[in-house]
Structure 1
């Protein structure tokens, strides 16, 4: 699993869900906006504390998590 510059998990913040560092914004929220068709520019208008790089890293995080989950499923079977 790769290291992330903009994302952290802390059991004391948002129940340990991954958030953008320095915020309480969970990455799933931004991923939901993207999947609903919002552009990065639209998201940044509503969340100016984020950067385009942080949003792209959230997509990478989701991809890495999905790959890891698939590997765990293969191991379990």
Structure 2
């Protein structure tokens, strides 16, 4: 399965502009809420079957890359 480009959509037409997984109405925040609460990725995917594992993992990697860009001036490849 190919991933959408972009991975995340922000539009006033979807959840009042909250970032969502592209192609869905699932807020990206829901994924991080699940993980922060100690729930597994599988629990999130079960609750939101419209999001593929590959899409969720790609968003997690994007978030990690975005966060680490500011650390010590190093950039992820």
Structures share fold, TM-score greater than 0.5: yes
State the shift of 1:64 in Å. 4.7
**Consecutive aligned runs of 4 or more in structure 1 exceeding 6 Å deviation:** none
Aligned pair count reads 69
2:40 aligned with 1:39, yes or no?
yes
Quick one: higher RCO (CA 8 Å, sep 6+), 1 or 2? 1
Question: Which one has the bigger helix percentage?
Answer: 1
2:22 aligned with 1:21, yes or no?
yes
State the shift of 1:19 in Å. 0.2
Matches within 5 A, 1:1-77: 4-66=5-67
Name structure 1 gaps, 5 residues minimum. Answer: 72-77
State the shift of 1:57 in Å. 2.3
Name structure 2 gaps, 5 residues minimum. Answer: 72-77
Q: Following the alignment from structure 2 to structure 1, what is the Cα–Cα distance between the partners of residues 14 and 66?
A: 19
- TM-score normalised to the size of structure 2? 0.66
Q: Deviations over 1:7-60 (max 9, x none)?
A: 211122112221012221110111110111111112111111111111112223
